[in-house]
Amino acid sequence: MGLSIIGAGFGRTGTESLKKALEILGFGPCYHMFEVLPHADRVAIWRAAARGDTPDWDQVFAEYNATVDWPGAYFWRELSAHYPKAKIILSVRDAELWYDSMDKTILPILRDSDNADSIGVRLIAEGVFGGKIEDRDHMISVYNRNISEVQAQFGKDRLLTYELGSGWAPLCAFLGCPIPDRPYPRGNATDEFQGNVDAVTDNPSG
Protein backbone atom coordinates (compact mmCIF):
# COMPACT_ATOMS: atom_id res chain seq x y z
CA MET A 1 0.00 0.00 0.00
CA GLY A 2 2.71 2.49 0.96
CA LEU A 3 2.36 5.31 3.46
CA SER A 4 0.51 8.44 2.43
CA ILE A 5 0.64 10.00 5.93
CA ILE A 6 3.54 9.99 8.38
CA GLY A 7 3.04 11.15 11.96
CA ALA A 8 6.10 12.88 13.40
CA GLY A 9 4.65 13.79 16.79
CA PHE A 10 5.69 12.17 20.05
CA GLY A 11 3.45 9.83 21.99
CA ARG A 12 0.97 11.55 24.33
CA THR A 13 0.12 14.24 21.78
CA GLY A 14 -3.24 12.74 20.87
CA THR A 15 -1.82 10.12 18.55
CA GLU A 16 -4.40 7.43 19.25
CA SER A 17 -7.23 9.87 18.60
CA LEU A 18 -5.44 10.98 15.43
CA LYS A 19 -5.14 7.35 14.34
CA LYS A 20 -8.90 6.94 14.71
CA ALA A 21 -9.54 10.22 12.91
CA LEU A 22 -7.39 9.26 9.95
CA GLU A 23 -9.17 5.94 9.67
CA ILE A 24 -12.56 7.68 9.72
CA LEU A 25 -11.33 9.92 6.90
CA GLY A 26 -10.33 6.92 4.80
CA PHE A 27 -6.57 6.98 5.44
CA GLY A 28 -6.48 3.70 7.30
CA PRO A 29 -5.36 1.34 8.43
CA CYS A 30 -3.12 3.53 10.55
CA TYR A 31 -0.06 2.15 12.34
CA HIS A 32 0.47 2.94 16.04
CA MET A 33 2.34 1.39 18.96
CA PHE A 34 -0.85 -0.50 19.75
CA GLU A 35 -0.43 -2.19 16.36
CA VAL A 36 3.01 -3.43 17.46
CA LEU A 37 2.68 -4.69 21.01
CA PRO A 38 0.37 -7.68 20.39
CA HIS A 39 2.63 -9.12 17.65
CA ALA A 40 5.96 -10.73 18.50
CA ASP A 41 7.19 -10.46 14.92
CA ARG A 42 6.56 -6.71 14.85
CA VAL A 43 8.17 -6.25 18.24
CA ALA A 44 11.26 -8.05 16.90
CA ILE A 45 11.45 -5.78 13.84
CA TRP A 46 11.32 -2.60 15.91
CA ARG A 47 13.77 -3.91 18.49
CA ALA A 48 16.20 -4.53 15.65
CA ALA A 49 15.51 -1.06 14.24
CA ALA A 50 16.21 0.46 17.66
CA ARG A 51 19.58 -1.34 17.62
CA GLY A 52 20.40 0.29 14.29
CA ASP A 53 19.15 -2.19 11.70
CA THR A 54 17.26 -0.65 8.79
CA PRO A 55 13.87 -2.31 8.30
CA ASP A 56 12.27 -3.00 4.95
CA TRP A 57 9.84 -0.11 5.26
CA ASP A 58 7.58 -1.38 2.50
CA GLN A 59 7.26 -4.68 4.32
CA VAL A 60 6.70 -3.10 7.71
CA PHE A 61 3.89 -0.89 6.42
CA ALA A 62 2.62 -3.18 3.67
CA GLU A 63 -0.92 -3.19 5.05
CA TYR A 64 -0.99 0.42 6.20
CA ASN A 65 -1.78 3.79 4.67
CA ALA A 66 -0.64 5.93 7.61
CA THR A 67 1.47 5.79 10.75
CA VAL A 68 1.35 7.90 13.92
CA ASP A 69 2.95 7.60 17.36
CA TRP A 70 6.14 5.75 18.22
CA PRO A 71 7.83 3.70 16.92
CA GLY A 72 7.19 5.17 13.45
CA ALA A 73 7.51 8.76 14.68
CA TYR A 74 11.09 8.10 15.76
CA PHE A 75 11.97 7.42 12.13
CA TRP A 76 10.18 10.37 10.52
CA ARG A 77 13.31 11.41 8.64
CA GLU A 78 13.83 7.99 7.11
CA LEU A 79 10.15 7.48 6.36
CA SER A 80 9.66 10.90 4.78
CA ALA A 81 12.59 10.21 2.47
CA HIS A 82 11.38 6.71 1.62
CA TYR A 83 7.83 7.95 0.95
CA PRO A 84 8.48 11.37 -0.62
CA LYS A 85 4.84 11.93 -1.54
CA ALA A 86 3.54 11.24 1.96
CA LYS A 87 2.16 14.14 3.96
CA ILE A 88 3.59 14.79 7.43
CA ILE A 89 1.40 15.43 10.47
CA LEU A 90 3.17 16.79 13.53
CA SER A 91 0.85 16.38 16.50
CA VAL A 92 1.67 18.78 19.36
CA ARG A 93 0.42 20.06 22.68
CA ASP A 94 1.70 22.34 25.42
CA ALA A 95 5.11 20.97 26.43
CA GLU A 96 4.44 21.05 30.17
CA LEU A 97 1.14 19.23 29.75
CA TRP A 98 2.82 16.74 27.43
CA TYR A 99 5.41 15.91 30.07
CA ASP A 100 2.76 15.59 32.79
CA SER A 101 0.89 13.09 30.60
CA MET A 102 4.10 11.16 29.88
CA ASP A 103 4.91 11.08 33.58
CA LYS A 104 1.56 9.44 34.37
CA THR A 105 1.54 6.92 31.52
CA ILE A 106 4.59 5.92 29.49
CA LEU A 107 7.38 6.89 31.90
CA PRO A 108 6.31 4.57 34.74
CA ILE A 109 6.43 1.65 32.29
CA LEU A 110 9.89 2.63 31.09
CA ARG A 111 11.20 3.16 34.61
CA ASP A 112 9.89 -0.20 35.80
CA SER A 113 11.13 -2.18 32.81
CA ASP A 114 13.88 -4.73 33.42
CA ASN A 115 14.29 -5.42 29.69
CA ALA A 116 17.06 -3.26 28.26
CA ASP A 117 16.24 -4.51 24.75
CA SER A 118 12.58 -3.51 24.81
CA ILE A 119 11.23 -1.03 22.27
CA GLY A 120 10.26 1.29 25.07
CA VAL A 121 13.65 1.31 26.75
CA ARG A 122 15.93 1.19 23.72
CA LEU A 123 13.95 3.33 21.27
CA ILE A 124 12.07 5.77 23.51
CA ALA A 125 14.01 6.04 26.77
CA GLU A 126 17.46 5.70 25.18
CA GLY A 127 16.91 6.64 21.54
CA VAL A 128 14.61 9.62 21.96
CA PHE A 129 15.62 10.89 25.38
CA GLY A 130 19.21 9.72 25.72
CA GLY A 131 18.43 7.76 28.86
CA LYS A 132 17.54 10.90 30.82
CA ILE A 133 13.91 10.07 31.56
CA GLU A 134 14.23 11.34 35.15
CA ASP A 135 15.13 14.81 33.89
CA ARG A 136 11.97 16.80 33.18
CA ASP A 137 13.76 19.78 31.66
CA HIS A 138 15.78 17.55 29.35
CA MET A 139 12.71 15.69 28.15
CA ILE A 140 10.84 18.92 27.45
CA SER A 141 13.87 20.24 25.57
CA VAL A 142 13.95 17.09 23.41
CA TYR A 143 10.22 17.39 22.79
CA ASN A 144 10.52 21.02 21.68
CA ARG A 145 13.56 20.26 19.55
CA ASN A 146 11.69 17.56 17.67
CA ILE A 147 8.95 20.04 16.85
CA SER A 148 11.46 22.59 15.60
CA GLU A 149 13.33 20.05 13.49
CA VAL A 150 10.19 18.73 11.83
CA GLN A 151 8.92 22.22 11.09
CA ALA A 152 12.30 23.21 9.64
CA GLN A 153 12.35 20.18 7.36
CA PHE A 154 9.03 20.56 5.54
CA GLY A 155 6.98 23.31 3.93
CA LYS A 156 3.31 23.91 4.63
CA ASP A 157 2.35 22.04 1.47
CA ARG A 158 3.63 18.83 3.05
CA LEU A 159 3.41 19.49 6.81
CA LEU A 160 0.50 20.06 9.17
CA THR A 161 1.33 21.02 12.74
CA TYR A 162 -1.76 19.70 14.46
CA GLU A 163 -2.55 21.05 17.92
CA LEU A 164 -4.24 18.60 20.27
CA GLY A 165 -7.91 19.52 20.58
CA SER A 166 -8.16 21.29 17.22
CA GLY A 167 -10.86 18.97 15.93
CA TRP A 168 -11.62 18.13 12.34
CA ALA A 169 -11.20 21.45 10.57
CA PRO A 170 -7.40 21.80 10.18
CA LEU A 171 -6.95 18.08 9.51
CA CYS A 172 -9.63 17.94 6.84
CA ALA A 173 -8.42 21.14 5.19
CA PHE A 174 -4.89 19.74 5.00
CA LEU A 175 -6.00 16.39 3.60
CA GLY A 176 -8.69 17.80 1.30
CA CYS A 177 -11.51 15.91 3.01
CA PRO A 178 -15.02 16.97 3.97
CA ILE A 179 -15.58 17.30 7.71
CA PRO A 180 -17.37 14.16 8.99
CA ASP A 181 -20.79 14.47 10.55
CA ARG A 182 -19.54 13.06 13.84
CA PRO A 183 -17.37 14.27 16.72
CA TYR A 184 -13.62 14.09 16.44
CA PRO A 185 -12.61 10.84 18.18
CA ARG A 186 -11.15 10.75 21.65
CA GLY A 187 -8.98 7.89 22.83
CA ASN A 188 -6.21 6.77 25.16
CA ALA A 189 -6.71 9.48 27.76
CA THR A 190 -4.37 9.39 30.74
CA ASP A 191 -6.83 7.48 32.91
CA GLU A 192 -7.40 4.95 30.14
CA PHE A 193 -3.78 4.39 29.16
CA GLN A 194 -2.78 1.45 31.34
CA GLY A 195 -5.98 -0.43 30.57
CA ASN A 196 -5.39 0.06 26.85
CA VAL A 197 -1.83 -1.22 27.15
CA ASP A 198 -2.94 -4.22 29.16
CA ALA A 199 -5.59 -4.99 26.55
CA VAL A 200 -3.06 -5.37 23.75
CA THR A 201 -0.15 -7.06 25.48
CA ASP A 202 1.11 -8.89 28.51
CA ASN A 203 4.51 -7.24 27.99
CA PRO A 204 3.86 -3.49 27.89
CA SER A 205 7.55 -2.63 27.75
CA GLY A 206 7.80 -4.25 24.29
Angstrom distance (rounded) from CA 20 to CA 29:
9
**% residues pLDDT > 70 (the chain):** 90
pLDDT score, position 188: 53
Domains along the chain with CATH numbers? 5-200 (3.40.50.300)
pLDDT tens per residue across span 47-90:
999 999 999 999 999 999 999 999 999 999 999 999 999 999 99
194-200 own/partner pairs: CB under 8 Å, 24+ apart: 194/105, 196/16, 196/34, 197/37, 197/109, 200/34, 200/37, 200/38
Confidence of residue 190 (pLDDT cuts 50, 70, 90): low
Helix, strand or coil, per DSSP, at residue 131: coil
pLDDT tens per residue across span 123-147:
999 999 999 999 999 999 999 999 9
